[in-house]
Structure 1
Amino acid sequence: MSVKTKLSFMISLLVFIMLALNVILSAYSTRVNLQSDVEANMMAISQQIAVNVMQNSREHTFIHTMLAEKLKTVSDEVAGQLPKSAYLVTNQHLVELAKQLDIAGVSVMLRDGSEYLTVRSSDPLEIGVSRTAAEIHQPSKSFWTPSYQTTLTDHSAFGLDSYYSENDTNYVIHCYMRSDQLSDYEEIAHTTSFLTEMRAGNPTILEVTGFNPTLFAHMPESQVPQYVSERDRTKDSIPFGSYGYQEIVQDKKSVGEALAGKPVFRYENLNNHSVIKSFVAAKEPIPYVIGLVFDQEPMIELMKQQRNNQITISVLLLVGVIFCSYWLAGLLFRPVRSILWKINEVSFGRFDNSIEVRRKDELGQLAQRVNAMSKNLGIYMTKLKMAFEENRSMKEHLESFINHTTDAIHVVDLDGRTTQVNRAFEELFGYDAEAAVGQVLPLVPEHLALEEQKSIEQLRGGKTLAARETLRVTSSGEWIAVSATTSPIRDKNGEIRGIASITRDMTSRNKMEELLRRSEKLTTVGQLAAGVAHEIRNPLTTLRGFLQLQLETKRLNAQHVDLMLSEIDRINLIVGEFLILAKPQATRFEEKDVRFILGDVISLLDSEAHLCNIEFLTVFEQAECRISCEENQLKQVFINVLKNAIEAMQSGGQITIEVRHDDPHHVKLSITDEGIGIPEDRIPMLGNPFYTDKDKGTGLGIMVSQRIIQGHHGTLEIQSRVGVGTKVIITLPLLKP
């Protein structure tokens, strides 16, 4: 889909959304306005009904007053024409009086205890009818009518009873009028006729109902259908109108809310009609509620018509917007085609052609920027090609260097998987590059795995590691001595992404060091020979003397024999130590107490020290000082150091030898002489191969000693002052308990 089409589509979609929102808001506004109008209309109709009901109530009261006045006049006339005794009155006489006075009937009633019994009447059906004193409610006057109570009920017939009594008679005159005589009044004071006329003028009114709140609220729900279906039985709870759209529970609730002063409007579906029910309270002549049921169909039809009109207009507008937006998009993107052409040229590496710019708006500025970009890209591409050639040459140079160096190089990721190896790695460890890449190779012996893990963690923590001598395992399981240098590989953000290791085979160098160590050992043995010969001569002299004494005395002295045996054991010990030091030994670390090793060396050199007028002063730690060591190598170190001390003290003196451990992890051995000392500027040179200030020295003693101590994971430190003496401090790790 082209940008032109997309832009047209987006504009059309935006307009569509706005038109749809407009239709929805318009429909909502129309519905709200129509509902508001209908509710206002229903309120107005309810007020008209309330006014009519109040007017009818007043007309009822007026009619009752007129009828009472007429019956009073009639009662006076009847009393004047009847005899004093009820037994003298005849029914025929009463019939004539009723016709004469134009009333429904006249009766004569006698009191019988708490009741009044009709004994004579113009209506035969009235004879024998009894009424209680409460029904008649005789006041303290001669004429009265039953008390009038205001009601909302549409009576089917009007009527009024009156009672008349005189002190000199023994009966009560009962006169009454009925609906067949009051047809004119009935038409005047009737609510139903008004409601009929109202519904005829407004067909949307489906039903009008008057509710007596008190009686309607207490009407049992199970009996409501019966009450509603029988009009004469519901005239008290529903005084006027009809009640066909029933929803009893909700209507009771709505009647209560309306009576509280809040008009209620409900939108429902009843009797297959969408209707609006309203409940409005009226206060006069008594509190009641007017219920209206309006048909929603006219309002719904009007809403549909308004919505259809809005949709039609919106569709026409949308079609116009689609065509206009497509035309405007084409007009707007016409310059973009030139820019697109130029970008296509740039994508194929053609930077010479430029866009002809004729516009000064944003698109014109964009075209100028594209021309400038094309020119700069041409320059940058030329530089990039040159840089690419340089990088390619450098890459080939580095690959050649890595693949042709004699040091094994391999790179691993943070999970330990090998990512790259060189040819020297393949030759040293015996792994093919294809088999090694992507695998975790077991290059580190198991007993050094923890040490290697600590080194990697230090490297990740940012610490720089120096080259270290250690052991590695080849593919065939052979252990080889190597010098390993490990360094991190970081990305452009400085995060460590891999670890590179350069491994150098130290087998040849170690063999050379071993030869140097043996050479130094032979030199030391040669120098010790004179001391050993002198040491052996002393016990031999003792043996010769005792043997001569035995020959002269020709007796065997047990005490002399013990002394001779002890001297022989001493000769054997000196020769044994001398042979152990002289002959080659296999390197094997064992658990030894460094005090005993140093004591054996002191015993070996003690006679030579005596020849030089030198005394050994020993201060040893009382607690055990057990270390893991190769005993013969440590003896060679101690002999080298002690011989240097003896040779530095030409005038004799004292050599102090101390063994102590100030911390629980290391033991410290110090050998202090009182010799001529070493100049401060020469101390850093000690340990360099063949560096010596002795006429017959080899310059290998200190170097070999330092290598042996490093192999035992210890340190060798030399402190000296000219004319004062020299102190050699050797620190070795103790075995863990």
Structure 2
Amino acid sequence: MSFKIRLTLILSTVVMIFQTLTVIVNDYAMRVNLKREVQELMHNISASVSEHAARKMRPAGGTDEDSPGLDPAALIQEFQSLHRNIMEIAVFRPAEEGGAGSSSAQEAGNAASQELTGRLLYGSYDIHASGTDSADLAEAMRSGEVYRSLRSGGKTLLAGTFGFPESGLAVRIAADLSPMYGMIRETRNYQISLSVLLLPAAVAINYGLAYVLIRPLRQILGKVDEVASGRFDTPLAVNRKDETGQLAERINAMAKNLDVYTAKLKKAFEENRSMKEHLESIIHHTTDAIHIEDVNGVLIRVNPAFEQMFGWSEEEAIGRNLPIVPESGMKEELEAREALLAGQMLPARETIRRRKDGSCFEVSVTTSAIRDRNGVIQAFASITRDMTNRNKMDELLRRAEKLNTVGQLAAGVAHEIRNPLTTLRGFLQLQQQTNKLNQRHIDIMLSELDRINLIVSEFLILAKPQATKFRIQDVRFILGDVISLLDSQAHLCNIVFTTSFDSEPCEVACEENHLKQVFINVLKNAIEAMPKGGEIEIDARKQPGWIVITIRDHGVGIPEDMIPKLGDPFVTSKESGTGLGIMISQRIIQSHQGTMEIRSTVGKGTTVTINLPAVE
């Protein structure tokens, strides 16, 4: 059944109920009004009849003013002729003459009716109320009036008993209400017939009203169906200013907002789907093992690389706490979990993992926490990379670098020694041919032998470092010893050392002789870089956690393209240098957990900065 028909039936039912209630209320009101008017008429008649009967019963010696008037019997006939519905009027004598006041109230049945008949003064008493008349008469003498409804001869009667204690008389009037009730029934039936006749018209009117009311609602319902189907582009055209129009405006606004939000959701869904597919592709095709486990260590998800790397299938791994961490790495793993739970970010760490067959292998593990929307950690995601082949490759590379370095050193040493050997061979052959000793040749030969000895000595120091014992020393004192050692050489070259040391102790854990070698190599390079003399600045400062030594000259400088190569064997800007001094110095500084930085500008000088860990 359509809503329009249901609304029509509802409205028609409401109209019918309203009309029925109207008929019932009107019928009841008319009956009540009729009864009230009859009671008022009875009261007036009884008062008039009682007054005339009282006058008639006064003694003969009264005044003219108190003399009897109209005869009560004639007055009763006159009232009955005027009011056709008054069937009988009865006036009973006073109680003191016949005891009608109290003794008659205790009698019952026909005896009571006969007794009342014997006390009748005027009128007729043919309509009896089954023995209740005496009680009504007694009650009326006490309270003034009593009404009782009767049925007699198929008629509806109303009996009213009125007492007048001052005159000792009682009046009983019986009125027939049937004719007037009949008129009321006719009016009621007429109204019902009219309602039945008007019902089709009411149904038609209600149907039209329902159509007018439902038409905009049908449009709104159609728009709601379109919105439910995902179509938001057609707005409602309901030009009304009432609640229906406001509802249409709200639905249009809702559809517009839903259109915007749906477009955004579709875009976000596509982006999420694309991202999910991308991530799934990465997870399934990466060679790194990826697994997700809850806070209790139970695996939630693994990728194919995990199955291949550890030997457990996905069915075997999910829902279990696998022993992939060996006993030796358990402490490290617990510390990592505690750090993640504390909110820290962990870098990739190299450790050991165990396969299903019990074999262990080297891996690089990156672990991160997975949190819910409230920031509570729900799981951990780990990416494991097998480092076995990479470590082997790194070892091969280190060996290759060592062999390459040895080859470079051997080639450099051979090249550097071959030149003086060639000079020695030439002079020896010359002296063998001439059988003469030339002092000048001997000096050159000795100089070349010294050069060969220097190269071999530096190479031995680099190749076979001595065992070192670190002690706490003040860098200021070590620099002072080196400056005293090189001071005479500096004066010969017209060079002055300018020092600026921190007033606080600059203590480091070091091997004193090795640091002296470093400072001697750097200061010698600075002296040789200033052939015209000048000033060399030496600073030693204590900074948080570090001791910073700065040696600055104002010499010829080093070309910018050569600075990255400093430290390689036999790479030097000096004609007579070997390049091994800087290499040895860098190696010594690295063994002291420090750094060495060289900055230079051609024509302006070079600055060497050495940072060593301070002793707290």
TM-score calculated relative to the size of structure 2? 0.39
TM-score calculated relative to the size of structure 1? 0.34
